[in-house]
């Protein structure tokens, strides 16, 4: 190997077995191996020198072999909190095989100390700092930490992700991204800590080029806009949607879209119409709680001063169905929370709900408050088998823990 050629093995770690991200039954129904493709890693792959060879192994869909390790000059890995166990395992395997390993992604960025066994850490958004890592690697460095300023990366410089590295038929949907960041301030949210409260958007041409690339690879069907909040910058979105509609028309609507958005989407009839016209069929909305006091306390004020039922109905009327997230375990919650949540789900006719237990994610306002109150448990033991939704409550709850868990069970039933 010379310093200017390199074989990079990208390993997408396994999600914990009980993570809600797996939705295995839906995959079985559709003949897919996993719901979502690893968009972060294929974006990083596009930042590497063109002549470097890249191989991607997704541990959720395929086996990682000794031959893969033997082939590689370097391993890149990392992901989200529910992938932490396997990310750490992967680092260990690299150390055993004597392969330099680079880690990045949201969990590494939030908790870098846990990943200190890796040779290199790329913290934050990779676009503007990968070049520093590449320079260090070419120089012969064997370790280093490269840190991007949080929430500041210019996403118009983000490269076209290497969709060609994916085995597209293994997934329920493929992700693309229009924006990063969210203007709101929910206390439990780490998005705003990692990606900022000023949403940054790609150019229309960038996103259309991504769709062109997917189309050229023969992909058809479900594309998920993985934005933190697609309507975070409504002005930019409204400028983008006419181009997207034009593209869909020209190609005879090869894609159907889903995304995440805040509930104030319901207040903008024109925007709803434009989304439906471009073939958005589903949106995930964080409702979190039917209890106004809880929404105020957790700083989710955009969900207050409105009828949740009317808001969801307006989105349904536009022809877009709503998946929603609910959380049990907030401090201000009352014993009536389970009944209120069930009633809210039934009244809003939401067909797919993700009900989770509150988890204080690293770096959030919630974690800082619980720490100051001496209520945060140390370590990440709660996430050994599940994730922040299925194995949450990593803190001393306000109500008796047994009551909170009973309410969680009632809503799930
Ligand atoms: S609306 Fe969603 S993304 Fe935005 S701050 Fe709240 S939880 Fe985070």
The two three-digit tokens of residue 322, written as one number: 């709503």
CA distance 184 to 286: 12
Residue 391's pLDDT band, with cuts at 50, 70 and 90, is confident
| Ligand 1 atom closest to residue 288's alpha carbon, by position in its atom list | 7
Over residues 223-243, mean pLDDT: 98
Residue 147 has pLDDT above 80, yes or no: yes
Q: List pLDDT tens digits, range 98-112.
A: 999 999 999 999 999
Instruction: Determine the distance separating the centroid of ligand 1 and the alpha carbon of 135, expressed in angstroms.
Output: 36
How, if at all, do strands 171-176 and 221-225 pair? parallel
CA distance 81 to 110: 9
Does 329 or 388 have the greater pLDDT score? 329
**Ligand 1 site residues, Cβ closer than 6 angstroms:** 182, 184-186, 189, 191-192, 228-229, 262, 286
Nearest to 224 by CA among 273, 270, 155, 172: 172
Mean pLDDT of the chain: 94
Over residues 361-370, mean pLDDT: 94
3-state SS assignment for residue 328: strand
Residue 1 has pLDDT above 60, yes or no: no
Residue 380 has pLDDT above 60, yes or no: no
| Ligand 1 atom closest to residue 188's alpha carbon, by position in its atom list | 7
CA distance 386 to 15: 8
Instruction: Determine the distance separating the centroid of ligand 1 and the alpha carbon of 326, expressed in angstroms.
Output: 13
Instruction: Determine the distance separating the centroid of ligand 1 and the alpha carbon of 199, expressed in angstroms.
Output: 12
Nearest CA residue ID for atom 6, ligand 1: 186
Over residues 382-411, mean pLDDT: 83
Q: List pLDDT tens digits, range 254-278.
A: 999 999 999 999 999 999 999 999 9
**DSSP character at residue 377:** P
The pLDDT of residue 185 is: 96
Residue 22 has pLDDT above 90, yes or no: no
Instruction: Ligand 1 pocket test: pick from 151, 177, 183, 184 the residue with the most ligand atoms within 8 Å of its Cβ.
Output: 184
Q: List pLDDT tens digits, range 179-188.
A: 999 999 999 9
Nearest to 163 by CA among 213, 227, 221: 213
Beta carbons within 8 Å of 174's beta carbon, 6+ residues apart: 36, 37, 39, 163, 166, 168, 214, 219, 222, 223, 224
Architecture of domain 177-412: Alpha-Beta Barrel (3.20)
Instruction: Ligand 1 pocket test: pick from 199, 229, 326 the residue with the most ligand atoms within 8 Å of its Cβ.
Output: 229
Residue 392 has pLDDT above 90, yes or no: no
What residues form DSSP beta bridges with 58?
12
Q: Rounded to a whole number, what is the largest CA-CA distance in the chain?
A: 65
Over residues 12-26, mean pLDDT: 88
Edge to edge, the sheet with strand 280-288 lists 34-36, 171-176, 221-225, 255-260, 280-288, 321-328, 352-357
Instruction: Determine the distance separating the centroid of ligand 1 and the alpha carbon of 189, expressed in angstroms.
Output: 6
Torsion sign across C-alpha atoms 27, 29, 30, 32: positive
The pLDDT of residue 243 is: 98
7-147: which CATH topology?
Rossmann fold (3.40.50)
Instruction: Determine the distance separating the centroid of ligand 1 and the alpha carbon of 194, expressed in angstroms.
Output: 12
Instruction: Determine the distance separating the centroid of ligand 1 and the alpha carbon of 286, expressed in angstroms.
Output: 8
* Range with the largest mean pLDDT of 1-10, 232-241, 331-340: 232-241
3-state SS assignment for residue 215: helix
Instruction: Determine the distance separating the centroid of ligand 1 and the alpha carbon of 337, expressed in angstroms.
Output: 21
The pLDDT of residue 21 is: 84
Over residues 247-260, mean pLDDT: 98
Parse the chain into domains and list their residue ranges. 7-147, 177-412
The pLDDT of residue 379 is: 66
């Amino acid at each position: 190997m010379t310093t200017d050629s390199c074989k990079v093995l990208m390993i997408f770690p396994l999600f914990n077995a009980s993570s809600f991200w797996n939705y295995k039954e839906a995959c079985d129904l559709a003949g897919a191996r996993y719901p979502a493709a690893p968009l972060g890693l294929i974006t990083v792959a596009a930042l590497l020198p063109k002549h470097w060879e890249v191989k991607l192994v997704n541990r959720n869909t395929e086996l990682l072999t000794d031959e893969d390790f033997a082939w590689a000059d370097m391993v890149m890995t990392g992901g989200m909190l529910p992938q932490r166990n396997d990310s750490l395992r992967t680092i260990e395997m690299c150390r055993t095989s004597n392969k330099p390993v680079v880690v990045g992604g949201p969990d590494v960025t939030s908790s870098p100390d846990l990943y200190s066994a890796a040779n290199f850490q790329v913290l934050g958004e990779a676009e503007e700092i990968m070049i520093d890592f590449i320079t260090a690697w070419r120089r012969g460095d064997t370790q280093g930490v490269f840190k991007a300023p949080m929430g500041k990366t210019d996403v118009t410089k983000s490269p076209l992700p290497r969709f060609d590295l994916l085995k597209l038929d293994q997934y329920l949907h493929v992700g693309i991204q229009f924006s990063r960041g969210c203007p709101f301030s929910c206390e439990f949210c780490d998005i705003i800590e990692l990606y900022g409260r000023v949403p940054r958007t790609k150019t229309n041409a960038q996103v259309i080029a991504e769709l062109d690339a997917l189309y050229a690879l023969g992909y058809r069907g479900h594309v998920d806009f993985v934005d933190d909040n697609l309507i975070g910058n409504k002005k930019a979105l409204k400028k983008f949607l006419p181009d997207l509609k034009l593209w869909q028309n020209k190609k005879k609507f090869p894609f159907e879209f889903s995304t995440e958005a805040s509930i104030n989407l319901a207040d903008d009839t024109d925007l709803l119409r434009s989304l439906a016209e471009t073939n958005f069929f589903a949106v995930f909305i964080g409702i979190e709680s039917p209890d106004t006091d809880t929404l105020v306390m957790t700083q989710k004020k955009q969900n207050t001063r409105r009828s949740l039922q009317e808001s969801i109905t307006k989105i349904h009327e536009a022809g877009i169905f709503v998946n929603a997230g609910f959380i049990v375990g907030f401090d201000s919650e009352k014993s009536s929370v389970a009944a209120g949540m069930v009633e809210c789900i039934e009244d809003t006719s939401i067909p797919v709900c993700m009900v989770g237990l509150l988890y204080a994610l690293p770096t959030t306002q919630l974690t800082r408050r619980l720490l100051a109150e001496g209520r945060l448990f140390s370590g990440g033991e709660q996430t050994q088998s599940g994730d922040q939704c299925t194995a949450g409550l990593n803190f001393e709850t306000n109500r008796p823990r047994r009551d909170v868990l009973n309410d969680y069970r009632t809503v799930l039933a």
